[in-house]
Amino acid sequence: MINAVIIDEKDNVIVAIEPIEKGGEVSYKLKNGTVKTLTAEENITIYHKLAAKDIAKGSPIVKYGEHIGVAAVDIKAGVHVHEHNVESVREEL
């Protein structure tokens, strides 16, 4: 069952479309129809982000195909991505 979405295929975060419990399976579909799955490492509130893959400290967090911050710590796939582990960074546009 699909319970998360990826907005842009460049994204390294996905968005929960229903509450997901720690240890639960997270499934989302790519544009080509491929379904990806991972395990939630924490409880995830509906409409919150979680890492679709491991994100190294200092690496960009990508949502909507755009950088929305950088990882303040190493973030493992399936971990909640929010202000506690993301730093805001002003980029030269």
pLDDT tier at 3 (50, 70, 90 boundaries)?
A: very high
C-alpha 54 chain-centroid distance? 9
pLDDT tens string 71-91: 999 999 999 999 999 999 877
Quote the pLDDT of residue 26. 98
Name the burial class of residue 35, with classes exposed (0-12), middle (13-18) and buried (19+) by CB atoms within 10 angstroms of its CB: exposed
8 A C-beta contact, residue 49 and residue 68: no
Within a 10 A sphere around the Cβ of 23, how many other Cβ atoms? 11
Q: Which domains does the chain carry?
A: 4-87 (2.30.130.110)
pTM over 0.75: yes
> Which pair of structure tokens corresponds to residue 52?
């679709």
8 A C-beta contact, residue 43 and residue 20: yes
Quote the pLDDT of residue 93. 61
